[in-house]
Structure formats: structure tokens, C-alpha cells
Structure 1
């Protein structure tokens, strides 16, 4: 049953893999089998839940796998270090950054004790470490570790490789956050060119880079080029994954941003609603992707003068994000400031001050 679940996962048939692996875990919990075997089952279960986008449950399953590996006395193995790195990435998504950082650093230490520091096995944990540091706004350290991952891959593998393309993409994200738009564009181009060599021009792997690149083009004022890029991502997703795939929802939100930048707010709002309709078929209402689109919809409403709708949406975004993020993070501070601006513009100074004090006291 476990082999079948693993096979379904490798084929991308997550809905078939999930119930099978759940049964495996439940059965193994009643049996007297080696703890390491139970740990592996929880690990696979966590990976399947991660693939489904159920990151909270994935974190719980993988935490249990860590505990079982430790009880089994196998906390210095390659398998355990891989679990730590995978769990660190899930914790990063769940905004548990300190735990994520500690885990991926432990994974790196274990791997460095097993291999030399330029071994191929170190590329992935350095990649994950960089992504965590980036989320903590530590861009210089993120860049250093992103280049470590890339350098290891380039030293061990000739020619195009998915890991290299992903590193170029993430370096572009870092440069974008540092407002180095030219360098960001260059790295997106390298990522896109390598992805096209690896997968061809119409593969789903192309769409994320295309979408990210379109955001850079927008910031550079190249609206028509950005529109062409995101329309390409939409077409590939629709043709290869289907019009109700969650990726379609994300790209519709990106497409809406183009119309928002052109002050076509009604068209943008319609696209945000389409994106939400798709995403809600796949994720719970508090999922980061859904909340991200709600935030974009709120900003669109604010810019178009629909202040009451914007206020309602900003409140909703804040109420959900406060359960996941620290109050000092920009995921909280940006919508908070937008809501405060609305309240103050309406003369609700007392409520604005009260909100400001509440969020200041929780930092």
C-alpha cells in the first residue's frame, strides 16, 4: 500500500496517494514495527500533504517523523537530514522561520559530516536556507547561500539542470526585493532560457518564471511585454494542467495586476474573483494563496475608490494573517498600514490608534 501511494505521488496523482498513505500510517501505529519504518511512513504522508497544499497537516506529520527518527537513534543519517530540509521548507511556508532556520542548518551540518562541503547533496539544503533567509528579509545572506547552491550544482553537473534554473529564479527574486531590477531581469531570463531547454517552450515548469518575469517587466513600465509574458503562462497552464488548476488561479491574479496598473479596475476585479473561485476549490479559506489574492483585490478596490469594500477586505486579510505571521512582518504591516490610512481618512482616529497600539504591543 505504501509503495502504491508513493507511486501515485510520483505520477502526480496526489488525490489517490493521500488516502492510501493515511491508511498506512493508521495501520502502522497499531503495529510493533521498527520506529524508523514508522518515521518513513509519516515522512511520505507529510510530503503528500505538502504536495496537496495542506501545509499545516504536512508540518504535523513531518514533525512526528522527526520525533520517531530521534527515538530510533537515527538522527545522523542522510535520510534524517533530508527530512529536516523538507520540513524546514514546510515550516518556512507556514512562517515558522526560526524553527525552519534551525532545522535546515542542522540538515546542512549532518550532510557536511557525511560528505565534503561541495557535494551535490548540499545543493538543496543551501537552496532552502536561502529561501528562509529571504523571507526574513536577510537578502545578503540569502544571496550568499543561493549562490552556494548554484555553485555546487555547476561544479557537479554539466549543462542545464532544474536546480540551476530554480536558483536563477530565486536570485532574481532577491534582486527584485533589493530593487535591482536589471539584475533581476537578467536572472529571470537565464532561468527561463534554461527551463525552455529542459522542458520545451510549453511545459508547466515554464509558467512560474514567466509570471515572475512579468512582474519585473511591469515595474520597468514594460506593460505590453509583461502582458505577453503572463498570457503565455495562462495559455500553458490552461492547455497542460486545465482551466481549474490552482496554478491557473495564481496566474489570473498576476494578470489582474496588469489591468490594475492600467487603471482598468473593473477588469482587474473580475479576474481576482475568477482567481479566488479557482483557488477556493483547492485550498481552505485561510490558505496563503487565497489571502494573497484577497489582499490584491483589496488594493484594487482602494485604488478604484471603493473604500468600504477595501476596508472589509483589509480587515479580513489581517484577521487571517495574524494567526500565521508575526506582527512585525510585512505580511501584516502592509495591509495594516493600508487599513489605518482608510480609517484615518474617514476620521476614525480612535480606532486607528487602537489598532496601531494592539499591533505594536505584539511585536
Structure 2
């Protein structure tokens, strides 16, 4: 029956068996659409589920098409402030966010937060989630003050309502720590990250993905304080666990390789840094594509290693590509774009090309 097909598709979805889930969910949606009509509640639920399957596979265009329909139908049928409409807005915003379409994501997330706050109250779990999502969008735009204000609220409410050791509270601590770290507030970041790592390690075990993430974040804070030995110890663990559990070509493994390489770089261990960065860039480029944010970051890091070894031509070649892609993807004024401009200016200076360096520095 259609119901049993839908239930089996849901089971596959929760197991991450996306191909099998998609095949069944597509059938169920088509049958229900033809029998019941596109605006029937059961059809809408199937559309939403299929959109979720596409989103989890990174198929953003297909996910967006369905999620937009779901939101529009729910808004017209149930009203903008109905809980189901709010959830569909949040899902669509998440898809925009994953495509780096920050303005569209922010517009929807702001609505979701305001409606949730007005209807359910500031301390309701749905309101807290929507605050966290909006803060994440601010974070990704480099709007640290706005992100911090929301994240601080989320953490305080979660701690008071759920307790310090609750998974949601721990996540909110971790998110706030990232914002502190991004603003160079190392002491505040370290204090939170150390707590997060210890609680996750005790609750979930050392090899759990969330524990690994918190280890990596704490290592990053150590690295930015020049505490290379402490950073390396954690980063080496993160890389080894990720490689053993997820495989060498997994995005998380690639990121951990890049982080360890940066630490080697700061220790003047250029050969080790270059080996890891070159491997990370090649895997990212092959798996994710040349314009993926992780690939761009790995290119920038490798360019830095070339520059430090006075290999200016190789450094320039990569940094020019990085700047062009970040301009196109993030805009001229994004912090990452400005960092790339500054790095390229330094490379030009190192070659005595002062007018080109000055032209870039004026924009930074």
C-alpha cells in the first residue's frame, strides 16, 4: 500500500539510505499527487520528505523547488503563522543557507524567529532553534556582533531550561565559542570549547563525530594562540580518527588534514605541511569541485605554504584563483575575500611589484 511504501521510505531516510528512500518517496508523491491533488496534506508531507532527501544529498536545486512549493501551499492554506508553515520556511532557509544564499536565508529565518517568538515565547524550543539558525547565517556573513547576541541568548535559555549537560545546550556553547574565536576572543572561546569537548567525550565517547568536531575547534583556538604542541596533539587525533572512521576522501578528513598542515606550517615544517595540503586540495577538487568553499580554503592554505618557502610564482597562481572565486561567491567585502586580497598583496610585495600590491591594499 501507499502508506507502507511511505513508512519504508521514512525508515530508509532515517538510515541515510538516500537512493532507496528517494525511489519510494518519489513513487508515493506521484501517486498521491495524481489521486489527491498537489495541495492535499498527505501530498505536501511527501513533497517535504522528498525535498529533505534531496537536501541531504546536496541536491539543492531539486530540494529548493519542492520546498518552495511546500511553503507556498502551506502559507496559502494554513497562514504564515501556522507551525507547519514555519517549519517549511525553516527548511527552505536551510537550503538557501547551504547554497551560500545568505540574504534569502536571513529573510526567511528572521520571519521564522519573529513568528515563533511572538506565538510561542522566547524560551520555546522552536524559537531557540530559529534563533540559532539565524545566528549561523550572521556568522557565515561575518556579522559577529549580531551572531554573538543571539547565540548568547540561546545558550543562556538552553542552560536554564535544559541544564548545562543537555546536547542542545552543549551545541549552543560550541556555536558561541566559534563566534568568540572568529573575533579573536581566545580566552572566552577556549573556556567554552574545553567544556564542550570534555562533556562530549564523557557522554558520547572520543570517536563520536561531535566529540571530534569539538576537539578540532579547541585545537584551532590553541593554534591561533601559538600553542602549537597542544594544537598538534589534538589535530593529529582528529585526523587519525576521521581517516580511520570515514576514509581519506571524506570532507571531515580533508578539513582535519588542512588544519594539521597549518600547524606544521607555523612550526616551519614546510614539507609536512605541503604534503598534507596538496593531498587535501586534490581530494577536495576531485570530490567537491574547484569552486567548493573547502577546495578554495585548501588552495589558499597551500598558496601560503608556497609563499613561506619563497615559491612566489606558485603561490600567486593559486592565490589569484582563490581571490577570483571568493569575489564571485562571497562578494568583494566578505572577510574571506578581503583576506585573499591581503594575501595576494603580500605575494606581490615579496616580488617587488609594489604598485599592484598597493592597489589591492587600498581595497582592504
- Describe the SS at the equivalent of 1:316: helix
| Cα displacement string for residues 281-320 of structure 1 (whole angstroms, at most 9, x for unaligned residues) | 5423322112121121122222222211111111222332
After TM superposition, the structure 1 = structure 2 runs for residues 224-263 of structure 1, keeping only pairs within 5 Å, are 224-263=229-268
Of 115, 121, 133, the match for 1:116: 121
Give the C-alpha shift of residue 196 in structure 1: 1.8
Residue range with higher mean Cα deviation, 41-50 or 224-233: 41-50
Matched residue, 1:191: 196
Corresponding residue pairs, total: 359
Alignment of 1:200-219 (within 5 A): 200-219=205-224
From the superposition, tell whether residues 44 and 310 of structure 1 become closer, same or farther in structure 2 (CA, over 3 Å). farther
Further displaced range: 191-200 or 251-260? 191-200
CA contact (8 A) 1:234 1:251 kept: yes
Partner residue of 1:79? 84
Question: What is the rounded CA distance, in whole Å, between the counterparts of 1:5 and 1:351 in structure 2?
Answer: 57
Range moving further from structure 2, 60-69 or 172-181: 60-69
Is residue 2:331 matched to residue 1:319? no
Equivalent runs, 1:1-363 vs 2, <5 Å: 1-18=5-22, 20-21=24-25, 32-34=37-39, 36-55=41-60, 58-158=63-163, 160-280=165-285, 282-343=287-348, 345-346=350-351
Tell me how far apart the structure 1 counterparts of residues 8 and 288 of structure 2 sit (CA, whole Å): 25
Whole-Å separation in 1 of the counterparts to 2:60 and 2:343: 28
CA contact (8 A) 2:142 2:334 kept: no
CA contact (8 A) 2:38 2:44 kept: no
Q: Which has the higher contact order (CA 8 A, sep 6+)?
A: 1
Report the TM-score, using the length of structure 2 for normalisation: 0.86
CA 1:172–1:273: 2 relative to 1, 3 Å? same
State the distance in 1 between where 2:335 and 2:74 align.
36
Q: Structure 1: which 5+ runs fail to align? A: none
SS in 2 for 1:132: helix
Partners of 2:359 and 2:47 lie apart in 1 by 44
The 10-residue stretch of structure 1 (289-298 or 78-87) with the greater mean CA deviation from structure 2:
78-87
- In structure 2, relative to structure 1, the CA distance for the partners of 1:176 and 1:159 (3 Å cut) is closer
Partner Cα distance (2:38, 2:63) in 1: 23
> 1:99, 1:194 → 2: CA distance?
35
Distance of 2:312 and 2:20 partners within structure 1: 45
Query: Structure 2: any 5+ residue segments left out of the alignment?
Result: none
C-alpha separation in 1, matches of 2:320 and 2:312 = 12
Per-residue displacement from partner, 1:230-281 (whole Å, max 9, x unpaired)? 1221232233333332211111111111111112222212111222344345
Asked if the contact 1:173–1:184 (Cα under 8 Å) also holds between the matched residues in 2, the reply is yes
Moved more, 238-247 or 224-233: 238-247
User: What is the alpha-carbon distance in structure 1 between the residues aligned to residue 360 and residue 41 of structure 2?
Assistant: 49
Q: TM-score, normalised by structure 1?
A: 0.86
Give the Cα separation in 2 of the matches to 1:320 and 1:57: 24
Q: Is the 8 A contact 1:123 1:150 kept in 2?
A: no
Range that drifts further, 34-43 or 153-162: 34-43
Give the CA RMSD over aligned residues: 3.0
Distance (Å, rounded) in 1 between the aligned partners of 2:173 and 2:164: 14
Aligned mates of 2:259, 2:144 — CA distance in 1: 24
How far, CA to CA, are the matches of 1:163 and 1:47 in structure 2? 22
